[in-house]
Amino acid sequence: MTRILLVPNHSLIVFGGSIEQNSYSLFLENFLDLMNNQRQDVFWYILIPKLRSNEKKFYDNIKKKVNSNNSLFISLDIPKYPQNQIHFNVNELRQKLKWKDYPIDIIFCHQLEITKHLRLFFKNDTNLDPPIIGYSHLMELPKLDWKGIFEYNILGITEMVSCFVNTNFQKQLIIEEARKIFSSSICGVLKEKLEVLPKLVVPSDIRPSKTGNYQKIIYWGDVTGRTKNFIEFRSSIEQLRKKRTDFIVWVPLLKGSNQFLKHDWVVNNNSINKRTYLKYLRSCCVGVSPKKQSFDWDKTISQGIKSGIPFIIYDSVISKSLYGESSFYKSNKDLISLLNKYLDDTQFRNLMVEKLIGELINKHNFLKKVKVINRLINKTIKDVKSVYNGRTKEIINLIQRHKAISHKDLLSPRFLNWNINVNFLGYRKAILKTGKIKEIEFSTIKKNSKKQRYPWKVKYKFQK
C-alpha cells in the first residue's frame, strides 16, 4: 500500500465561488475519482480545514470520490482567506497527523507556499522524510496573479521532486517572473522541476452527426431474448406505444425469430456492417440502458454518446459516477416520462448531447493527466533507496517472531526504539520488497466482541 499525504490548496477552497475555485474543485474531484479507478493500492491522508457552511458541499463531493477504506480526512483549524495562504500551524499538525501510526510514503502538495514548512516538519518532528510532488492550479491568463506570495511558491517548488502546471505557457510565465528575483541557478531548477500536464484534446472517435439531424428512434444496445432487462424495456415501450405511435425502436442484437419483431415499428438491422451501424446510430433520438448493468454495459453507452445520442440510464451509484450529466430512471414510469421528454423536446435532447460529449472529453483529458501524475508517483516511490543492513534484518526477524506488529509498536521503545533522526522509509521499502513482509488490515476486537477496523493504521505481517 502506498500512503500519500494530500495537501489541497485551501486558499482556493475557501476563497469565494470564483471560476478558479470551481475549476480547482473539478480537478480535485476528478483526480481522486479516476485515481481510485486506476489503482486500489493507495491510501489517502487528506488535510482539510474545519468545515464551514460554504465548504461542506465541496468536501461532500470529495468524500464521494474516495471511500473510508482508503482515505482519512484530517481536519485542521485553518483561517479564512487571505491568511490561509501561508498559514502553517506546526503544533496542530503534530497533534492531528498520527505519523507514529502510519508512515507517509509521499506528499502530494497543491499549496506550494507551505511546502518548505512541510519539509521541515517531517525532517525535524518525525522519523519520515517523504519525497514531495506538487501541483499548481493556475488559470490561463496573460499575467499570473500570485496574490503576494510568489517567492513562497518558488521556494516550495525547489523542495519538490517535480511540480505540475497545466500548460507550457504557465511554466514560461513562472520562469520569466522568477528571473526578476531569483538567481539563474534557481531558475534552472524551476525549469527542470516544472512539468506540464497533457494539453486538452478532443478524442478522434467522438463523431456525432455532422448535420445534427435525427429521427425518432429509441435505441436498445444491450442483450435481448428472455432476460429480465429486455422484458422490462419491452413492457415500457409497449405502454408508451399505447399513448403515441410516432417512434420506432432499434434493437441491433434482437434475433429474427423474436416475437417483438412482429411489430412494424421494431427493427434490428443486425446484418449491417460497422460503418452503416454507426451511421444508423447517429440518427437515433435516444438510447436506453438496462437496470441490471452487466459486463461492458458502459461501453454501449460510451459508443452511443460518441456518436451523438443521449442515454437514459438506470439510477445507480456507479452509473452516476461515470455519466453524471445523463438522465436517470428508477422505475418504468420514470423511463416512459423521460422517453416522452426526449421525443418531444429537440432543444432539451440536443443540450443533453452537448453536455454528455463535453463530459466524455473532460474525462478523457483528466484520465491522461491522472496517468501522468500516477507515473510520477510510481517513479518517485521507486527512487526512494531501500536500506539493507543489520537493522533491516532485525526488523524482519522481529516481525517474523511476533507474526504481526503494528507500525507504531514496531518503532516504539518496546521493540526497536527507533531514533527519530533516522528516516524509516528506506527500511520500510526494503522489508516490503523482500516479499516476506506485507501490510495487513489493522483491526481490534472490543469488549462487545465487535471487530473495529482502522484502515488508516499500518500493521506488518510475516508471510512464509
The last residue of one of the domains, among 197, 225, 245, is 197
CA angle 242, 243, 248 (to 5 degrees): 75
Residue 372 lies in a domain: no
The three-point CA angle 90-94-99 to 5° equals 130
Instruction: Classify strands 327-329 and 194-196 as parallel, antiparallel or unpaired.
Output: unpaired
Note down the domain range covering 397: 390-462
pLDDT < 70: residue spans in the chain: 13-21, 51-61, 64-65, 67-68, 79-87, 139-148, 270, 295, 444-452
One domain for residues 174 and 273: no
- Asked if residue 180 is part of any domain, the answer here is yes
Residues 148 and 290 in one domain: no
Asked if 454 and 70 count as a contact pair (C-beta separation under 8 A), the reply is no
Q: DSSP letters along 129-152, please?
A: ---EEEE------SS---TT-HHH
Q: Are 335 and 234 in contact (CB under 8 A)?
A: no
- Report which residue type is found at 257: S
Q: Which of 153, 179, 163 is nearest to 131 (CA)?
A: 163
Residues 239, 103 share a domain: no
Q: Which of 361, 382, 404 is the last residue of a domain?
A: 361
* 379 inside domain: no
266: which residues sit within 8 A by CB, 6+ positions away? 248, 249, 251, 254, 260
Tell me if the bond preceding 142 is cis, omega within 30° of 0: no
In a domain, 417, yes or no: yes
pLDDT digits (tens, 9 = 90+) for 28-63: 888 988 888 888 899 999 998 776 655 566 666 677
Q: In this structure, are 168 and 33 located in the same domain?
A: yes
Does 371 reside within a domain?
no
> What pLDDT score was predicted for residue 89?
82
- 340 with 444, same domain: the answer is no
pTM of the full predicted structure?
0.85
- Spatial separation of the C-alpha atoms in residues 286 and 305, rounded to whole Å: 10
Measuring CA to CA, which residue among 161, 162, 138, 141 is closest to residue 150? 138
With respect to residue 300, please indicate whether it lies within any of the assigned structural domains: yes
- CATH number of the domain where residue 36 is located: 3.40.50.2000
Q: Pick the closest to residue 7 from 144, 100, 104 (CA basis).
A: 104
Under DSSP, is residue 71 helix (H, G, I), strand (E, B) or coil? strand
pLDDT of residue 446: 61
> Does residue 282 sit in the same domain as residue 163?
no
Domain co-membership, 152 together with 10: yes
Domain boundary among 310, 340, 361: 361
pLDDT in tens, 145-179: 666 678 888 999 999 999 999 999 999 999 998 99
Question: How far apart, in whole angstroms, are the C-alpha atoms of residue 74 and residue 49?
Answer: 8
The number of C-alpha atoms within 13 Å of 415 and in the hemisphere containing its C-beta is: 18
Does 367 map to a domain? no
> Would you say residue 223 lies in a domain?
yes
Q: Are residues 33 and 158 in the same domain?
A: yes
Instruction: Say yes or no: 169 and 248 in one domain.
Output: no
Contact (Cβ atoms closer than 8 angstroms) between residue 47 and residue 5: yes
**Which has the closest alpha carbon to 336: 233, 226, 217?**
233
Q: How many domains does the chain have?
A: 3
Residues 6+ apart with CB under 8 A from 329: 312, 313, 314, 315, 335, 338
| Domain match, 12 and 156 both | yes
What local confidence, expressed as pLDDT, does residue 178 receive? 92
CA distance 305 to 355: 10
Same domain, 26 and 122: yes
- Which amino acid, one-letter code, is at 132? I
178 and 255 housed in the same domain: no
First-last CA distance in the chain: 19
